[in-house]
Structure 1
């Protein structure tokens, strides 16, 4: 089983206690869990969620990266595996890509050991919280009918329009025509549901985010 228990994309749902217990019971009986700790470090309004790996290290492979904390171009991540799988995973990694740049790994290790990485994380949390709050204010002002999901953590919000009679792909296209790029929620669905958008807030200052949401509101008005 591959899953993101700390913050599911795109809804931001956290795997609850009952389902965690069921999953760990299944893994203890011989299953294998690959835990992608997606967006776990970017949280604002809730306490950290314990990693599944900490509860059952012999049944969980724990994966993470610095793509959203430092830069995707570093191509640095990690995978903690049960001891019985260690040699096989090391061999598979070697045959897959012949390894990663050593210098970047050493720089990351120095950042961790020195405490600078933790200080950087505190800085980006404050910055992203301000940007998230600006987007929430703009949604309340310009998209009052929208329902917000996943605001407690991560680097994006999901908004849905319950009972709406338009396609979210049409809304995304209308917003793009005004210069705002957003993902239709239907791109991430298997089952049908309310139209919605996935809206990222990590890459722009508060003023740009507020302007962008205002343009989405204008696109929605034209669509209706």
Structure 2
């Protein structure tokens, strides 16, 4: 079994330091491949990360971060349940965003424009699709860099936009 990871999301994307845990028989060939295939990782950054891990501060940072992001995710779920009941949300198991599935026939671009007029920034899933089609209407709701209060206020401000059914 091989395990690969990085500290880019848990600590800092600019570090560009990853880890690879592999069986002892693969260590030499993997190290040789890394040596010839990239320019290496900065030694000072590696030493600083090692010290952070050895001191226990990295584990404390992870625990604190998990609590923060769990609270933000919970704020998003609670706000949607209160202000946009019936909106299905997926993608919450990992990462710092969720996908809100809007009612059939909803105009994704209209919801985004109306939300921005209310000073709430939203992003449509159509921008993430290779085809850029806007059906089904879905929104990417990021919560990684937004506080709980802001999440709750933002969803309260646009809840009606997320649940409105198109006229027809």
Unaligned runs of 5+ in 2: none
- Structure 2: how far apart are the matches of 1:62 and 1:147? 33
Separation in 1, partners of 2:114, 2:24: 52
Question: 1:82 Cα deviation (Å)?
Answer: 5.8
Q: Taking structure 1 as reference, are residues 150 and 116 closer, same or farther at Cα in structure 2, changes over 3 Å only?
A: same
Indicate whether 1:72 and 2:13 are aligned. yes
Out of 115, 133, 139, the residue aligned to residue 74 of structure 2 is 133
C-alpha displacement of 1:147 = 0.9
Cα distance, 1:203 vs. partner?
A: 0.8
Give the structure with the larger helix fraction.
2
* Match of residue 214 from structure 1: 156
Residues 105 and 165 of structure 2 are in contact (CA less than 8 Å); yes or no, is this contact kept in structure 1?
no
* Residue 124 in structure 1 maps to residue 98 in structure 2: no
Which residue is equivalent to 2:85? Answer: 144
Question: CA separation of 1:180/1:102 partners in 2, compared to 1, >3 Å: closer, same or farther?
Answer: farther
- 1:165 aligns to 2:101 (yes or no): no
Between 1 and 2, higher relative CO (CA 8 Å, sep ≥ 6) is seen in: 2
Quick one: structure 1 residues 222 and 148, their matched pair in 2 at CA, closer, same or farther if it must change by over 3 Å?
closer
Say which is worse superposed, 111-120 or 76-85, in terms of deviation.
Answer: 76-85
Equivalent residue pairs, number: 164
Q: State the SS of the aligned residue for 2:146.
A: coil
CA apart distance, 1:71: 1.4
The 1:77/1:167 distance shift into structure 2, 3 A limit, reads farther
Equivalent position SS for 1:171:
helix
Q: How big is the alpha-carbon RMSD for the aligned residues of Structure 1 and Structure 2?
A: 3.2
- Looking at CA atoms only, which structure, 1 or 2, has the larger radius of gyration? 2
Following superposition, the deviation at residue 178 of structure 1 comes to 3.7
Work out whether residues 96 and 143 of structure 2, in 8 Å CA contact, stay in contact via their aligned partners in 1.
Answer: yes
- Alpha-carbon distance change, 77 to 183 in structure 1, aligned in 2, over 3 angstroms: farther
Question: Quick one: structure 1 residues 82 and 178, their matched pair in 2 at CA, closer, same or farther if it must change by over 3 Å?
Answer: farther
Deviations 1:71-98 (A, max 9, x none): 1122222234566765555455445541
- Written as runs of structure 1 = structure 2, the 5 A alignment for 1:26-41 is none
For structure 1, the 5+ residue unaligned runs are: 1-56
Instruction: Please state whether the residue corresponding to 1:158 is helix, strand or coil.
Output: strand
User: Which SS does the other structure have where 1:145 is aligned?
Assistant: coil
